[in-house]
Structure 1
Amino acid sequence: IYHLLIAVDEKCHDVSVGAKALTGEGYRGHIFWDTELFCLPFYLHTNPAVARNLLLYRYNRLDAARKIAKQKGYQGAMFPWESADTGEETTPSWYKDSSGRIQKVLTGGQECHITADIAYAVIHYFSVTDDTNFLLDHGLEIILETARFWASRVEYNSRKKRYEISKVIGPDEFHENVKNNAYTNLLVQWNLNTAAKFCRDFQKKYPANVKKLMSRINLLPSEIAKWKRIAAAIYIPVSKKTKIVEQFEGFFKKRKLPLTGLDHHSLPLYPGNIRNIGNTQYVKQSDVVMALFLLSEIFSLETKRKNYLYYEKRTLHKSSLSASIHAAVGAEVGEEYKACHYFEIAAYADLKNVYGNTNAGIHAASLGGVWQALIHGFAGLRIRKGMLCINPQLPSHWKGLKTSVKFRGFDISVVIGKEKINLYFSSKVKKDRLTVSVYGIAKTLLANRRYSFFPKHKKIVPCGLEEYY
């Protein structure tokens, strides 16, 4: 937490947090998706002004993202995989492998899910803060222009009557140049639907603002209608029989191999006898599991658990972004031992130099991921349809957990024990109210009063939202 706190300045509106924060020269200080999906949630619930600044960094480079999209023959805005001061793509085009051979780097062109990741972060910010002014002045434009990009990036398969996305890399960078990566397609579907929804809703509430924005970016109603059609027909590879999400089209046909053992940090060993790991089902880091985490509400609990166990057997966790997400989702689906195991790995990522490169700087994403595993995973604090939901899954050997989070302008004290949850929020306005969901039951709280909630059972409580997969 210390390194996340010192990495930002509340008064600075035009910088972001690099992959190594302020601790080293790794990745030359470049900005990745790490910031929006791993670090930003911490700031959202502790210092929302900082989270706003991190998104302003992206907004201030929206024209650069438009330029990238145009250069590649697309519309809208395509954010770079690696960003620096100008917002241009700064991913290197090649690197030397361990044998000294030159290898081409494809992430700059193919790991385009970052565009949807940034849109997700904008709506995440709005869900927590209810900052309408930010959305009208900055955020909505990002949402619309990223949706516009995806509408031009998808390809229509007339034979199968569906939209597809080819030549991409998902979070799992072992597999390049794949077709219909589930994580990417799910986030694209979300991006398109969310852009259409917010444009419609804001047109009703703030017609003059939205009309002016649509005029400025030349956005037509017909485009928005098309987004909804694409979202409804985009291909999500899911087995109807097993409910396992196929990481990408053809993944199930890849060579299935067992994990060969664990290293001294209790992480799976990298198989030394594999010439091309892309021909196997080995996964570098959370990919489908990352989608389960971000879009938790669209999956049934049973589907989440099946997919978690399926991919846990195949994931090598060769990225510092992986263990914390497996901890968070593991806690949600009731896999206590696995959740604690991955939580410990993530917590000690730099203290024990788990990935062997801490000399280049700490792993900022892992720091933010540990906080999310603790708060979103074990404490079970998530935002659902604008409501703060609390459904803790504390490890049996923990006595309790005490924290505070910012939500909709309130500081909320949360104390989770073995048998009850205590909630409290203060306000100078005595009539202030806040509706929360605890153990799946909605309750309206009054300011400056303490509330205790007692679970009626020990089972995992679903979110109570629609389950699509």
Structure 2
Amino acid sequence: MNLDYIIPNPWSILEEGFDPDQVKASESLFSIGNGAMGQRANFEEKYSGPTFQGSYIAGVYYPDKTRVGWWKNGYPEYFAKVLNAPNWIGINVSVNGEALDLHTCKKVDNFKRELNMKEGWLSRSFTATLQNDIEIEVTTKRFLSLDMDELGAINYSVKSLNSDATITYQPYLDSGITNEDTNWDDKFWDTLSVSQDNEKAFITAKTMKTGFHTCTFMASQLFINDNEVKIQPKVDKSETYISFSYAQKVNKGDTCSIHKFGGYTVDRNHQKDELIAAAKTVLDKAISAGFSNLLETQKQAWTKIWDMADITIEGDIKAQQGIRFNIFHLNQTYLGTDATLNIGPKGFTGEKYGGSTYWDTEAYCIPFYMATKDQSVARNLLTYRYKHLEKAIENAEKLGFSNGAALYPMVTMNGEECHNEWEITFEEIHRNGAIAFAIFNYYRYTGDFSYIPEMGLEVLIGIARFWHQRATFSADKNKYVILGVTGPNEYENNVNNNWYTNYIAQWCINYALDNIEKVKEGYEDDYMRIVGKTRITHTELASWKKIADNMFFPYDEERNIYLQQDGFLDKELITVADLDQSQRPINQKWSWDRILRSPYIKQADTLQGMYFFEDQFTTEELERHFDFYEPFTVHESSLSPCVHSIQAAKLDRMEQAYTFYLRTSRLDLDDYNHEVHEGLHITSMAGTWMSIVEGFGGMRVKNDTLTFEPKIPEQWEAYSFKVNFRNQILKVNVSQNETQFELEGDAELQIMVNGKTVTISPNNLVTV
């Protein structure tokens, strides 16, 4: 892929010129969503070239039976997959009977595609010469409504440039679709009905096994030069398909347009037998409002989001485009209104990772949603895990744990583990720590302790019980060890005493013990309820404490650093700088055996712990560990550059911090990992936001106080961001010479800037 084909622009993603080799990449990059559904940027009209068709509905999934060569005890039965949903965007277009297909046109000129992030719409325009020599000009615009999240809208226009012509539009619905990603080529959907009501069409379908019921729907209006025309359409129908054909004669130079409204109603929100009625209601509202009014409402909804979430960067268009692209897709993927939903690493942009929930949500996403929405959104994400606690206990029981020990899944849709690579499913247990850390992080940032007695303490107890049982006493070391794990660095499997895992296990136990005492002292009713439910005893708590106090941490006295795991120094310590660049990325060039024996680190591991628990380490300790581990880090995880950017900024290594920032913010736009055609890296986008706010802005919460140590890359003139801290909205503007703070609201706020207390009054600019 040509890395420079996306044109730098502060508010839009722009592509100019049609290149069939970039179609799949663009389908990812120009994806749209509204939290309830999303779709890749597939063409509305027929396209016979290579394409990855994808439309997805939040929360609708299929349990695709696990495919492994050798079944191991404890393997999950299935991998949950977000499903390619019935297609509603399709519009076949023909002129004088010749189909419009950019893959077969004689000529395509002036091709331009735009994803307008400020207003939340996708457009395309081009001129084409068809096989019958008719020249046409096409413009399209579509969006998924934030206001009516079951609805999408398309405006598709064709102008005949060189002759009078008959333009035929054939809008259709199609439930005969397949997933790109399937283990056994199963049939995922069962079509129940195909029906019409005048010029409205409906396909009801249900997912196999999981039994989600959906209605895919559409209605259309036809226009000549913006004047509506009424034509009785020809209807074509099969068991999985319905289309309406509208044929309209136009004069040379005239424009014929179709407005198509479509989308999904789902039994997650309606009764099964009311899905068509609900769809009719949506379509009636859409037709009554009209495309232009719906688009205006869309712009207003995005203006409201950007008012809080925007980060401005002056003097660096690529950096500006990068951060807005990240913020835009985070908001397209999850808006926090439904506690039964979560954030998939690819969002609605592809099928890799199954659209499931990973530890990415707790480690990377919650800070973004806490600071740019209100705290209820982050609380919903924590509530999601609480509702899956029983499943986490079941997951642990399947692996031989007991007494309410909880192991949260590596990958899940409904709380059940559905990841089936043994070195991750059974060994990447540090994910449990991210769940507990998110509870701590939420309380630290919001000051809302109520989540802990209501829900969080039960989660913390289940997690502490897991660590208590997972640790082993080593008589040789006279310490507790944790054996056979995979740390955040997935290029090391089945290691002993991964420092990050041991450290977060110790921290989780101590944090659970602290909160048991707090709830006992201040929330007696909740405490009695939790004790009755969990049956914790003083003897058990004492046993936890013994393990936490005697946890083993591998350490190298000579280098004065914690070792990533036992035996790390036995490796041939060749840095990435001395690695032949033709061997990169190693995950695509090397055997797994060779990767496992190498010193190369996929993403922050020891440094991930020092990022989470920064207050427990001196800057000198961080520097020693950064200097040792970063040179071995290949950054072949999307989650790697953001953490390293934050730490480089803390160490005043601004050039390095800036390089990492640019990599994390433009990971997909510049396709660093050569995989953007599969979909975008949504959860790492939240890490990009952190790399500005926590990295360059130096924002932390210490001793209940918001603190900043602002820095700025020399490539930037200024940057600004807003955070909602405990229901007070603070705007921070950093330039090369000063930092300005402005507070919305009616109460003053005390913050710390570079170690000094600063009091900010509402609507009063303070310059430091």
Q: Taking structure 2 as the reference length, what is the TM-score of the superposition?
A: 0.55
Are the structure 2 counterparts of residues 69 and 410 from structure 1 closer, same or farther at C-alpha, using a change threshold of 3 Å? same
The aligned counterpart of 1:422 is: 740
The answer as to 2:409 corresponding to 1:80 is yes
For 2:681, which of 336, 346, 363 is the aligned residue? 363
Cα deviations across residues 320-348 of structure 1 (Å, max 9, x unaligned)? 11111111111111222211111111111
CA distance in 2, matches of 1:120, 1:407: 19
CA distance in 2, matches of 1:267, 1:154: 36
Contact 1:39 1:364 in 2 (8 A): no
Q: For 2:700, what is the secondary structure of its paired residue?
A: strand
TM-fit CA distance, 1:270: 6.4
1:212-251 equivalences in 2 (<5 Å): 212-251=529-568
For 1:333, which of 628, 634, 651 is the aligned residue? 651
CA distance in 2, matches of 1:261, 1:347: 25
The answer as to 2:366 corresponding to 1:51 is no
The aligned counterpart of 1:313 is: 631
The aligned counterpart of 1:31 is: 357
For 2:693, which of 356, 368, 375 is the aligned residue? 375
1:127 aligned partner, one-letter code: R
CA distance in 1, matches of 2:470, 2:556: 25
Contact 1:349 1:366 in 2 (8 A): no
Aligned residues: 437
Contact 1:262 1:268 in 2 (8 A): no
1:432-443 equivalences in 2 (<5 Å): 432-443=747-758
Are the structure 2 counterparts of residues 262 and 212 from structure 1 closer, same or farther at C-alpha, using a change threshold of 3 Å? same
Are the structure 2 counterparts of residues 137 and 355 from structure 1 closer, same or farther at C-alpha, using a change threshold of 3 Å? same
Q: For 2:652, what is the secondary structure of its paired residue?
A: coil
CA distance in 2, matches of 1:49, 1:7: 17
TM-fit CA distance, 1:70: 1.7
Are the structure 2 counterparts of residues 445 and 206 from structure 1 closer, same or farther at C-alpha, using a change threshold of 3 Å? farther
Contact 2:389 2:459 in 1 (8 A): yes
For 1:92, which of 420, 429, 436 is the aligned residue? 420
Q: For 1:436, what is the secondary structure of its paired residue?
A: strand
TM-fit CA distance, 1:45: 0.6
CA distance in 1, matches of 2:634, 2:431: 22
CA distance in 2, matches of 1:39, 1:359: 23
Are the structure 2 counterparts of residues 64 and 269 from structure 1 closer, same or farther at C-alpha, using a change threshold of 3 Å? closer
CA distance in 2, matches of 1:224, 1:419: 52
TM-fit CA distance, 1:441: 2.4
CA distance in 2, matches of 1:267, 1:450: 49
Are the structure 2 counterparts of residues 214 and 425 from structure 1 closer, same or farther at C-alpha, using a change threshold of 3 Å? farther
TM-fit CA distance, 1:60: 0.9
TM-fit CA distance, 1:151: 1.0
Contact 2:738 2:767 in 1 (8 A): yes
1:260-339 equivalences in 2 (<5 Å): 260-261=578-579, 276-339=594-657
Q: For 1:351, what is the secondary structure of its paired residue?
A: coil
Q: For 1:276, what is the secondary structure of its paired residue?
A: helix
Larger RCO, structure (CA 8 Å, separation 6 or more): 1
2:461 aligned partner, one-letter code: L
For 2:521, which of 204, 209, 213 is the aligned residue? 204
The answer as to 2:340 corresponding to 1:22 is no
Percentage identity across aligned positions? 29
CA distance in 2, matches of 1:223, 1:339: 45
Q: For 1:118, what is the secondary structure of its paired residue?
A: helix
1:91 aligned partner, one-letter code: H
The aligned counterpart of 2:333 is: 7
CA distance in 1, matches of 2:657, 2:594: 30
Cα deviations across residues 48-83 of structure 1 (Å, max 9, x unaligned)? 322221221111111000111122222421001111
* Structure 1 residue runs without a partner (length 5+): 94-104, 454-469
Q: For 1:132, what is the secondary structure of its paired residue?
A: coil
CA distance in 2, matches of 1:206, 1:452: 42
Q: For 1:404, what is the secondary structure of its paired residue?
A: strand
Contact 1:267 1:317 in 2 (8 A): no
CA distance in 2, matches of 1:158, 1:91: 34
For 2:500, which of 183, 193, 216 is the aligned residue? 183
Contact 2:343 2:683 in 1 (8 A): no
Contact 2:646 2:695 in 1 (8 A): yes
Q: Taking structure 1 as the reference length, what is the TM-score of the superposition?
A: 0.88
1:452 aligned partner, one-letter code: T
CA distance in 1, matches of 2:758, 2:536: 41
Contact 1:126 1:132 in 2 (8 A): yes
CA distance in 2, matches of 1:230, 1:442: 40
The aligned counterpart of 2:390 is: 63
1:388 aligned partner, one-letter code: L
Are the structure 2 counterparts of residues 143 and 158 from structure 1 closer, same or farther at C-alpha, using a change threshold of 3 Å? same
CA distance in 1, matches of 2:352, 2:703: 38
Cα deviations across residues 430-464 of structure 1 (Å, max 9, x unaligned)? xx4433221122345444544332xxxxxxxxxxx
CA distance in 2, matches of 1:64, 1:269: 36
CA distance in 1, matches of 2:586, 2:695: 26
CA distance in 1, matches of 2:417, 2:467: 18
CA distance in 2, matches of 1:420, 1:262: 43
Please, which moves more after superposition, 228-237 or 23-32?
228-237
The aligned counterpart of 1:465 is: none
CA distance in 1, matches of 2:758, 2:542: 37
Q: Which has the higher helix share?
A: 1
The answer as to 2:450 corresponding to 1:133 is yes
The answer as to 2:716 corresponding to 1:398 is yes
TM-fit CA distance, 1:378: 0.8
CA distance in 2, matches of 1:349, 1:271: 17
Contact 1:182 1:288 in 2 (8 A): yes
TM-fit CA distance, 1:157: 1.5
1:329 aligned partner, one-letter code: Q
1:150 aligned partner, one-letter code: W
The aligned counterpart of 2:80 is: none
Q: Which has the higher strand share?
A: 2
